[in-house]
Amino acid sequence: MIVLTGGAGFIGSNVLQKLNSTGVTDIAVVDDLTNGAKMQKLARKKFVDYFDFREFVSASAALKNISHIIHLGAISDTRFTDGKILTEQNFTFSKHMLELARVHKCPFVYASSASVYGSRKKDFIESPAYESPETPYAISKWMFDQHVREIYSPAPIVGLRYFNVYGPGEELKNGMASFPYKCINALLHGKKIKLFEDGGEEAARDFVHVEDAVRATVYFSAWADKSTKSGIYNVGTGEAVTFKKIAELAGARTEDIELAPFPENMREGYQNFTKADLTNLRNANYTYSFQAAVTGVKSFKNYLEAQPCRKSLT
């Protein structure tokens, strides 16, 4: 059995779909369905059980034959500031999932975050020397990375440090939706795309399509490849694309873009630039290529244009 936390989330639901497409259905999904709209993410997908994450710590003791754990569940709101809740869900619960993997001697793949690099401008390398988390969210993810680095496990432990993931399935992320989604959604509803002042047009990030994030997640979960080595690996394209370029790829003309004041509550830890260093990923024999933004954003636009119901983020 594969245990998949966050299976009703953005990346998690895409992982669930990918596993199903390869014939894997012996899956226990763990998530929080307080927002009932997330249940749509589980509709028409195949799995054998579901657990609320608050009940899983006690319920997991009765589970047998766990072969792999893919731990993607977390508070993913980068602006969430309650440190107690962040550490409970992003650190303490993650420690329980890791211990469960150690008990079952099974591969453990979890979601790290490029936010741990902070507001640096270069050298996004998976090493403590290059990590400087600045927000409560980033620190909670960094804390678990440090814990993992000190733990021995008889099976692989792999942290995937996702950069800015975008693509189908993120419509429930609201304010945390990717910039490509916000651009395409704004244009579909006849609204302007907002870029922040103070260099907003020059800001650039590493935007990675969810299909590529899913491929890496499934690959490193080792359900097909037992030779996966433990480590923390960047998952990004290795290219930084400006926000202005993303807007243009979404179909924006000059008159569709306007500058807006930079929100004061977002200045701390804001990443004006990210670019994944893929050296360690390639050294781990991960040879798959990543979609360039020029391809990925346009395919995402086609996908959203074809949806019968389009959600406005206002």
Catalogue the active-site residues: 137, 173
3-state secondary structure of 183: helix
Q: How many CB atoms lie within 10 A of CB 274?
A: 22
Q: How far apart are CA 123 and CA 302, in angstroms?
A: 34
Identify any residues that bridge with 4 across adjacent strands, giving them in sequence order.
Answer: 29, 70
CB distance 100 to 66 below 8 Å: yes
Q: Which residues have C-beta within 8 Å of that of residue 44, sequence separation ≥ 6?
A: none
Q: Which H helix or E strand runs over 247?
A: helix 243-249
DSSP SS3 for 34: coil
Helix (H, G, I), strand (E, B) or coil at 217: helix
33 C-beta neighbours (distance < 10 Å), count: 15
CB atoms within 10 A of CB 248: 18
Beta strands 108-113 and 157-162: pairing type?
Answer: parallel
Name the residue type at position 253: R
Max Cα–Cα distance, the chain, nearest Å: 59
